[in-house]
């Protein structure tokens, strides 16, 4: 039962263009969403997050959009840089409804490999 | 502030042995979560500790256990190792209060190979 899905295993983008990474979820109890970037042999690095009370959050080149009715979120990277090449994970939690099976638990998607070509 | 520190970084064990992994959270963080990452299953939640108490547990067998100390440092233990336990084990800490309370910050992980 995969509650968070990243349907695109990989994405290739030219430097300077926009990268759009997508994520879908099925659990309506999820109310907090995060994006992480991961290089091989390293732990995930937090990029940006969004609460379900918002539909957009921006931080520099990174913007996350949340469509609650579609249970869909996306990460936009503009402009893309070769250093952005990594695996990107979407994660979800029931932060606002914390308790019991929600404490400290992030549910991750399978990841999308982003390659930005110079 | 120092980040999340996991030791050791690499470990090789044989089937049937047991292993203990260590995690030092970011100073001031009281919540520590553990995850297992494998190519087939992705990142899977193992358990979470807060103030020395396990508050949540994922769907893993009882061979996987953990604990947290009064200084918030945490250890996880895997007994009777199986080949399928070969994975990257990740620890994450979060502040539990304030604006960043729902963000988890990860360590570099411990790569466990079971032969």
Rounded to a whole number, what is the distance in Å from the CA of B18 to chain A's nearest CA? Answer: 23
- Residue A102 sits at φ, ψ, to 5 deg, of -100, -25
For residue range A15-56, list pLDDT tens digits in order: 999 999 999 999 999 999 999 999 988 899 999 999 999 999
| Residue of chain B minimizing CA distance to A44 | B106
The partner residue sitting opposite B43, judged by closest CB among A45, A46, A108, is A108
* pLDDT-based confidence at residue A97 (cuts at 50, 70, 90): low
Please list every residue in chain B whose beta carbon sits closer than 8 Å to the beta carbon of residue A6.
none
The partner residue sitting opposite B108, judged by closest CB among A42, A91, A105, is A42
Question: Which stretch of DSSP H or E encloses residue B8?
Answer: none
Q: How far apart are CA B103 and CA B25, in angstroms?
A: 13
Q: How far apart are CA B34 and CA B6, in angstroms?
A: 11
Q: Is the CB of residue B77 less than 8 Å from the CB of residue B19? A: yes
**pLDDT in the model for residue A41:** 81
Rounded to a whole number, what is the distance in Å from the CA of A28 to chain B's nearest CA? Answer: 18
B52: left (phi over 0), alpha (psi -120 to 50) or beta: left
Please, is B37 exposed, middle or buried when counting C-beta atoms within 10 Å of its C-beta (0-12, 13-18, 19+)? Answer: buried
DSSP collapsed to 3 states, A90-103: EEEECCCCCCHHHC
Best of B8, B24, B42, B108 to disrupt the A interface by mutation (most A CBs within 10 Å)?
B42
Q: What does the mean pLDDT of chain A come to?
A: 93
Asked whether residue A96 carries a pLDDT value surpassing 90, the answer given is no
Please list every residue in chain A whose beta carbon sits closer than 8 Å to the beta carbon of residue B6.
43
Which 16-55 residues of chain B touch chain A by CB within 8 A?
Answer: 31-33, 35, 42-43, 45, 47-50, 55
Average pLDDT, integer, range A96-111: 79
**Cis-peptide, bond into residue B7, ω within 30° of zero:** no
**pLDDT in the model for residue A32:** 93
Q: How far apart are CA B115 and CA B101, in angstroms?
A: 39
* pLDDT-based confidence at residue A100 (cuts at 50, 70, 90): low
For residue range B23-58, list pLDDT tens digits in order: 999 999 999 999 999 988 889 999 999 999 999 999
Tally of CB atoms within 10 A around B34: 25
**pLDDT in the model for residue B75:** 98
Rounded to a whole number, what is the distance in Å from the CA of B82 to chain A's nearest CA? Answer: 22
**pLDDT in the model for residue B40:** 85
For residue range B53-112, list pLDDT tens digits in order: 999 999 999 999 999 999 999 999 999 999 999 999 999 999 877 777 889 999 999 999
**pLDDT in the model for residue B101:** 80
**pLDDT in the model for residue A89:** 97
Report the candidate in A106, A93, A113 with the shortest Cα–Cα distance to residue A13: A113
B96: left (phi over 0), alpha (psi -120 to 50) or beta: left
Asked whether residue B1 carries a pLDDT value surpassing 80, the answer given is no
Extract the runs of DSSP E, i.e. beta strands, from chain B.
5-7, 10-13, 19-24, 31-38, 42-50, 53-57, 64-68, 74-78, 87-94, 105-106, 110-114
**pLDDT in the model for residue A6:** 97
Report the candidate in A58, A108, A6 with the shortest Cα–Cα distance to residue B38: A108
| Residue of chain B minimizing CA distance to A2 | B41
Q: Is the CB of residue A32 less than 8 Å from the CB of residue A96? A: yes
**Inter-chain residue contact B43 with A95, CB threshold 8 Å:** no
């Amino acid at each position: 039962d995969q509650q968070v899905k990243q349907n695109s295993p990989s994405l290739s983008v030219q430097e300077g263009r926009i990268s759009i990474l997508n994520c879908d979820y099925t659990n309506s109890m999820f109310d907090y969403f995060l994006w992480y970037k991961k290089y091989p042999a390293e732990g995930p690095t937090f990029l940006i997050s969004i609460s379900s009370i918002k539909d957009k959050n921006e931080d520099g080149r990174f913007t996350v959009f949340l469509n609650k009715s579609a249970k869909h979120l996306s990460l936009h990277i503009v402009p893309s840089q070769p250093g952005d090449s990594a695996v990107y994970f979407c994660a979800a939690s029931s932060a606002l409804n914390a308790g019991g099976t929600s404490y400290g638990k992030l549910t991750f998607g399978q990841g999308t490999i982003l390659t930005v070509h110079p | 502030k120092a980040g999340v520190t996991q030791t050791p970084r690499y470990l090789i064990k044989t089937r049937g042995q047991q292993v203990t992994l260590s995690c030092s959270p970011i100073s001031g963080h009281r919540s520590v979560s553990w995850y297992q990452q494998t190519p087939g299953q992705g990142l899977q939640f193992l358990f979470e500790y807060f103030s020395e108490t396990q508050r949540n547990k994922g769907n893993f067998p009882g061979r996987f256990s953990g604990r947290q100390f009064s200084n918030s440092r945490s250890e996880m233990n895997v007994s009777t190792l199986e080949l399928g336990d070969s994975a990257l084990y990740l620890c994450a800490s979060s502040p539990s209060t304030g604006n960043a309370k729902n963000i988890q910050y990860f360590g570099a992980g411990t790569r466990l190979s079971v032969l």
